[in-house]
Amino acid sequence: MAVSNRFIALLGDGRERFSDKQLDQEWPTEPIVIDAYGVSDAYRYDGYVFLDEIWFSKYSRKWLEDSAEIDQLLIKLVKCAAEGCQSENLQKIVAYLAEPPETMDEVVRVWKGFYDPELKAI
């Protein structure tokens, strides 16, 4: 029997805090770390995990003043979602992009809300 992997994008720092056993509960899965170099379009993501509350600070030095770099990253992640993806975090990302908050304080609050310390939302 062939096993097809589900690709789960891991964003931010702190991969070592989550054991492979935790991620294997989403089996079959292959965690793909999205690093500061960006998103690989070689994968179609079935889920998204934000590893720490300030995950966005890894991807933009200007996140306090401007959301453009993070927004572009999130847009790429949406474009790379697997067809029929039911990810709760993907739905949060799409909702944020559809109606972004007006102030940077509100934007940062939404970004921080993507983080789930118990790895329950993927």
Domain extent for 64? 6-113
pLDDT at 83 over 70: yes
Asked if residue 118 is part of any domain, the answer here is no
Asked if residue 119 is part of any domain, the answer here is no
Q: Which of these ranges, 12-21, 58-67, 72-81, 82-91, has the smallest mean pLDDT?
A: 12-21
Asked if residue 122 is part of any domain, the answer here is no
Q: How far apart are CA 101 and CA 18, in angstroms?
A: 30
Confidence of residue 27 (pLDDT cuts 50, 70, 90): low
- Name the percent of the chain lying above pLDDT 70: 91
- Name the percent of the chain lying above pLDDT 90: 57
Helix, strand, coil percentages (3-state) for the chain, rounded to 5, are 35, 15, 45
Q: Amino acid identity of 98?
A: A
Residue 36 has a CB neighbour count (10 Å cut-off) of 8
Contact 56, 19 (CB under 8 A): no
What's the total number of domains in the chain? Answer: 1
Asked if residue 39 is part of any domain, the answer here is yes
pLDDT at 5 over 90: no
Tell me whether residue 16 is exposed, middle or buried, using C-beta atoms within 10 angstroms of its C-beta: 0 to 12, 13 to 18, 19 or more.
Answer: exposed
Asked if residue 121 is part of any domain, the answer here is no
Q: How far apart are CA 76 and CA 41, in angstroms?
A: 8
Asked if residue 120 is part of any domain, the answer here is no
Mean pLDDT computed over 66-75: 96
| pTM (whole model) above 0.85 | yes
pLDDT at 104 over 80: yes
